[in-house]
Structure 1
């Protein structure tokens, strides 16, 4: 006997079933993330064993292959997708010693893409830049650098972070220090302009004049921490000395003690090498041609192991995918994760994916990117999309209160023109969201520095981020409503122009770089 069930009753029953299913899956995500976390193992394998992931280096390709194998172990389809080529370079040992007027092994390293000493050892006097009065006088001085090691950075007034001065100095002494520091930096900038060179062209001019090596200090304003970027020289090595040792050698040269340095700096140029994004996929069952994405850049600078920039984001997204595959193996929409190459040189990997996959960009339900350190997510910006509030608020509703109550949301927000890979999608009109996190002194101590290592990770906070990302993906996949990429007409005012912000343009992707 057939009985008709009233529509309202059927709807209530169906909704109750959906809520029950949702509660079961979100509960499983939370339990798995907290009780069976793989984050520490992933961090060890990526950061300790593989290490830093400079674009064009063997370690970058090693990381790509490691991720593909890891996904395969979890039953997730993954591949390395070529997007371009980069100048290949492999780091070797760096050893720097002060040999006169006393002995000391110095703390320092060669910069990325630095030329090698070719198996030889440099033994030479270290000198500093002269007092610069004008470009003519400076050009006359240049020939005197032949056979010398030249220090080209400003010697810092103090090696103590400003926060340390503020905490311990009297108010008058702190203000005096700040004034002197400002004047010191201003005088240095003026002197550099008078030389007729900037940081890049000066290094090239010095090596062309016969300098044996270039030494810099790129202090990051924290105890024992320096930014480590790339070399500008093509014939002689460029090295970064720690602030403490740079200051020692600088003062010896300044006071006529003629410091002698011994340098061995090995590296290999590998020609142009292919570069890849690693893409993993859990295929959707009902709407396979609509996509929800996780996103984090895979590459790093190589002053340390690239833990918080962006090893933390990488392992977070891998762990979220592992958990989703375990408890949500048949998503309504296709789940993708992009581990991008060459973010550090201008969002090249993600930009290439956007250009190469218009079908994903056109049918993207949402993308969630994490990139700025090891801390818990505390902000989500609507990126200027008119209806972001509707979706984000709905998806966040399933996230545990202990996590979502820490998050500030801004709607409609403003579209980002850079910063990280979600911006590549936003510029193309696709809903890319940044899961921005608390600082943990990221800007000073770990962002692009020689201290961005495994020990700086705060795993409990990354675990919370895994739960957030996995649940947001699940909710976005299950949402019966297709998201809208309608742009808000109420964008913030650009302070420079006094007019509403313009939507960012897509960046030109560098497909052949480092040359």
Structure 2
């Protein structure tokens, strides 16, 4: 009890010491209400430059546009910071698909990225193969040998159709108080707020192959067997499709591959089960861009004054998957962060610390852009670079269109207390508080790249709206799914919190050497 009272008294003392600039917060609100640019920014990032797949000309054009727009707004040192992605860029230019017999219909699908084009229109009879799910190597080798004569010159559907049950439970679009309190108590989110509580894949039984190992050998088998096209089941309801990438990034190792909506996949599979001869046609044009091996993070600054060598960062990932225009993931997040920077710039006041915005590439391929930046500029707690001790915090947003409800910071509870004080003036906009994290595990979003290094990454938790159930990585992730009022309010909240950390007397409290959690060892992440 005594310890609890001491902790409470400490938290109250921190809160009491925080001097909140109410005039600045009011100016931010007025500017956003009168001159918001957040939806205009989103329009350009999605309608004009989307999708923004890392290494593609679209992504580079979006990065250059963001750099130039922030320069126009008055930010300084706006530039593209290059790093080695290690893979060529790729972009689907056009794709069409049809079932031509025994019925005629259009097909709804997306092309798997980093896969080759068809050689003109690929027309053939469809065949469905159903490989074993968790075989031993001997079992898979035997199955491949037994079925090798089925795929030559064919359009090959891989796996039986997934039965997607009707969902009778309505999904909440706003985070209720109970869910919010769970998040504030440290339950849920990707190294902080923002991500789904996905169960990690079960480890295979000893001697069994993983799904990835099976898939790699299937691709090799289809190439060797002369298959024309591989067709995967999207396995989602209501025509939703998620198409990711050929994990090898080597187009020679795969055949042209599409992800077909579950409704079309199931229909064709049932016709095949009836003994019907089903014919399909795909015409796919993809392009490879060798220059995409070098990709870019976008960086710009609002210079500080008496504490200019200290930095408060904000950002989110600019890249997207290619099935849609990347609006909720993460065009609107990038737009909110750009808008927050614009709001601060509009104040006409100089912050004490430098405020730096960064828009990352290759988040979707594994947080690669933010990890490259952290490695180059900051190092780690164990092997710090000169700038390590000068970063106050990094704010990140990456969970769709919803309003900001909370924040999670890597650091001691005192850091969360400071952050809560900065957020409290925006309670009327739905913000409920802040929590602290000790996890240095990467995953989910770019704030964890900072956490892993021992830096104060701040993940902003949002109302889910339609994110994980509908738009996240799907062909429905478009401008139309954005809630403008939520985006505007989130921009205000972020600007206010960033301004506060940039101007308080002390840096955000950090873990001491004795308190710093151990880094996650390779292979345990």
**Native 8 Å contact 2:332 2:401 kept in 1:** yes
Other-structure match for 1:3: none
Say if 1:488 and 1:295 are closer, same or farther in 2 by CA, change over 3 A.
Answer: farther
Quote how far apart the aligned CAs of 1:55 are.
0.8
- Aligned pairs for 1:445-460 within 5 A: 445-460=470-485
Quote how far apart the aligned CAs of 1:284 are.
0.4
Which secondary structure state, in structure 1, belongs to the residue aligned with residue 88 of structure 2? strand
Higher Cα Rg, which structure: 1
**Native 8 Å contact 2:409 2:434 kept in 1:** yes
Say if 1:488 and 1:159 are closer, same or farther in 2 by CA, change over 3 A.
Answer: farther
Say if 1:277 and 1:158 are closer, same or farther in 2 by CA, change over 3 A.
Answer: closer
- Aligned pairs for 1:465-480 within 5 A: 465-480=490-505
Say if 1:506 and 1:433 are closer, same or farther in 2 by CA, change over 3 A.
Answer: farther
The match for 2:309 among 289, 309, 314 is 289
- Aligned pairs for 1:298-313 within 5 A: 298-313=318-333
Other-structure match for 1:208: 224
Quote how far apart the aligned CAs of 1:352 are.
0.9
Other-structure match for 1:81: 81
Residue 251 of structure 2 is aligned to residue 229 of structure 1:
no
- Aligned pairs for 1:212-361 within 5 A: 212-220=228-236, 222-231=237-246, 234=252, 235-273=254-292, 274-358=294-378, 359-361=386-388
Quote how far apart the aligned CAs of 1:218 are.
2.5
**Native 8 Å contact 2:82 2:296 kept in 1:** yes
Other-structure match for 2:391: 364
Residue 96 of structure 2 is aligned to residue 69 of structure 1:
no
Aligned partners of 1:80 and 1:28: how far apart in 2?
A: 30
| RMSD of aligned residue pairs (Cα, Å) | 2.8
Other-structure match for 1:99: 100
Unaligned runs of 5+ in 2: 1-17, 172-201, 379-385
Larger displacement relative to structure 2 (200-209 or 79-88): 200-209
Residue 215 of structure 2 is aligned to residue 199 of structure 1:
yes
**Native 8 Å contact 2:397 2:460 kept in 1:** yes
Q: Deviations over 1:263-282 (max 9, x none)?
A: 10001112242200000101
Other-structure match for 2:174: none
Residue 114 of structure 2 is aligned to residue 110 of structure 1:
no
Residue 154 of structure 2 is aligned to residue 153 of structure 1:
no
Say if 1:261 and 1:68 are closer, same or farther in 2 by CA, change over 3 A.
Answer: same
Quote how far apart the aligned CAs of 1:429 are.
1.4
Which secondary structure state, in structure 1, belongs to the residue aligned with residue 285 of structure 2? strand
Q: Deviations over 1:445-477 (max 9, x none)?
A: 111111111111111111111011000011001
**Native 8 Å contact 1:291 1:334 kept in 2:** yes
Say if 1:346 and 1:197 are closer, same or farther in 2 by CA, change over 3 A.
Answer: closer
Quote how far apart the aligned CAs of 1:385 are.
2.9
Other-structure match for 2:461: 436
Which secondary structure state, in structure 2, belongs to the residue aligned with residue 219 of structure 1? coil
Say if 1:49 and 1:159 are closer, same or farther in 2 by CA, change over 3 A.
Answer: farther
The match for 2:428 among 378, 390, 402 is 402
Other-structure match for 1:29: 28
**Native 8 Å contact 1:95 1:109 kept in 2:** no
Other-structure match for 1:12: none
Question: Would you identify which runs of 4 or more consecutive aligned residues in structure 1 move more than 4 Å?
Answer: 130-134, 192-197, 412-416, 487-491, 505-508
Residue 150 of structure 2 is aligned to residue 123 of structure 1:
no
Say if 1:490 and 1:357 are closer, same or farther in 2 by CA, change over 3 A.
Answer: closer
Quote how far apart the aligned CAs of 1:417 are.
2.6
Which secondary structure state, in structure 2, belongs to the residue aligned with residue 411 of structure 1? strand
**Native 8 Å contact 2:52 2:320 kept in 1:** yes
Which secondary structure state, in structure 1, belongs to the residue aligned with residue 68 of structure 2? helix
**Native 8 Å contact 1:332 1:478 kept in 2:** yes
Q: Deviations over 1:128-187 (max 9, x none)?
A: 01586953244221222100111113302246346489xxxxxxxxxxxxxxxxxxxx9x
Other-structure match for 1:6: none
**Native 8 Å contact 2:109 2:241 kept in 1:** no
Quote how far apart the aligned CAs of 1:45 are.
1.0
Other-structure match for 1:180: none
**Native 8 Å contact 2:408 2:416 kept in 1:** no
**Native 8 Å contact 2:423 2:433 kept in 1:** no
Quote how far apart the aligned CAs of 1:104 are.
0.5
The match for 1:418 among 421, 424, 443 is 443
Which secondary structure state, in structure 1, belongs to the residue aligned with residue 392 of structure 2? strand
**Native 8 Å contact 2:144 2:221 kept in 1:** no
Other-structure match for 2:418: 391
Which secondary structure state, in structure 2, belongs to the residue aligned with residue 44 of structure 1? helix
